[in-house]
Amino acid sequence: MPKTAFQRVFPYLLVLPTFVFVALFTLYPVTRTVTDSLYKPARRAADPSVFVFLENYADLFDSTHYLGARFVQILGNTFAFTLATVVFSVPLAFLFALLLNRQLRGTGFLRFAIFYPALLPLIGAASIWAFFYSDTIGLFNTILRGFGLTGVNWLGDPNVVLYAIVLLNIWKQSSYCMIFYLAGLQNIPRDIYEAAQLDGAGWFYQLRYMTVPLLRRTTLFVVLITVTYSFQTVEQLQVLNQGNPADRGNLLLYFIFQSIGERRNWGYVNAMTVVLVLLLLAFTLTNFLLFERRDDDKA
């Protein structure tokens, strides 16, 4: 039966509202970011921008340039921050899920205690941690002094500040990731463990050779969202240290946010956004190819 004109157009009408907004707030800005990153603003605001091809990118990686000197440091911080978050929050999340997956008295309370950080706005969580980290009257230093130790300048010491921010991120991210592991654990059929126990497999064997491999997809997903979120970290910095001291506690998206106001930075903020988007895409696609391929092997 040939389709009527309405039937032909109908699917497009259904997807139109979604794609209007996807086009306006994803496709257009992505394209525009790339093209704008190839221009420098003219000295006078009234003049048209100058096409400079990749010069903005070259400047960003030039340590003698006023932004480049900061950018490389901040990019490095972003990698270190993300790596540290993944390395600590993913195993912690797995551990939490293992612990919470048992029927204990008070499970509801324990789940609340471990999951609530995931529900807090980061800006609120960071306000609480600001109280922990405060140099003079903060909780951490008060406790340290109680043991007769000297306090640490958590947010003012260039060698400490990134650790302080990572710590908060681990606390929050491990809570969030725990949920996915918990769901993953609950999807594993119980009888395979019973069978393994009959064969005399101990708990470590079961964990190492059954649970961990069975949750591989979950792990990949959890790593992916942790990396994606960590690359976009802004709130903690806004509340805790504004990227200080001397950019040792600064991260990429927050730096873009800080640089957006000055007209002379327009090409650079776009170039930095392109770098950020490319990093996210590269990471996501690698991850995607990695587990798509492995799944084919299994089939």
Q: Radius of gyration over alpha carbons of the chain, in Å?
A: 24
β-bridge mates for residue 40, sequence order: 50
Between 27 and 42, whose beta carbon lies closer to another protein? 27
- Is residue 225 near another protein by the rule CB under 8 A? yes
Q: How far is CA 67 from the centre of its chain?
A: 24
Q: Does the footprint of another protein cover residue 298 (CB under 8 A)?
A: no
Piece in contact with another protein (CB under 8 A), picked from 54-62, 74-82, 190-198, 251-259: 251-259
Stretch that binds another protein, among 59-67, 156-164, 188-196, 228-236 (CB under 8 A): 228-236
**Count, residues near another protein per rule CB under 8 A:** 91
- For residue 151, report the phi and psi dihedrals to the nearest 5 degrees: -75, 160
Nearer to another protein, 29 or 73 (CB): 29
| Both tokens assigned to 142 | 């008060």
Under rule CB under 8 A, residue 52 binds another protein = no
Kindly tell me which residue out of 110, 152, 160, 196 binds another protein, with binding defined by CB under 8 A.
110
- The count of other CB atoms within 10 Å of the CB of residue 45 is 7
Residue 122 makes CB contacts below 8 A (sequence gap 6+) with 172, 234, 235, 236
Could you count the other beta carbons within 10 Å of the beta carbon of residue 142? Answer: 13
**98: its two tokens:** 């293992």
19 is a site residue for another protein (CB under 8 A)? yes
How many Å apart are CA 231 and CA 213, to the nearest integer?
27
Report the amino acid identity of residue 75: L
Under the binding rule (CB under 8 A), the answer on residue 270 touching another protein is yes
Q: Does 163 bind another protein (CB under 8 A)?
A: no
Nearer to another protein, 83 or 113 (CB): 113
DSSP string, 94-120: HHHHHHHTS--TTHHHHHHHHHHHHHS
Helix axes 161-187, 216-231, angle to 10 degrees: 150
CB of 198: closest distance to another protein in angstroms? 16
Among 42, 69, 83, 143, interactor with another protein by CB under 8 A: 143
In the set 80, 160, 214, 234, which binds another protein (CB under 8 A)? 234
Q: Is 2 in the site for another protein (CB under 8 A)?
A: no
> Min. distance of Cβ 193 from another protein in angstroms?
15
- Determine if 111 is a binding residue for another protein (CB under 8 A): yes
For residues 61-100, which are near another protein according to CB under 8 A?
95-96, 99-100
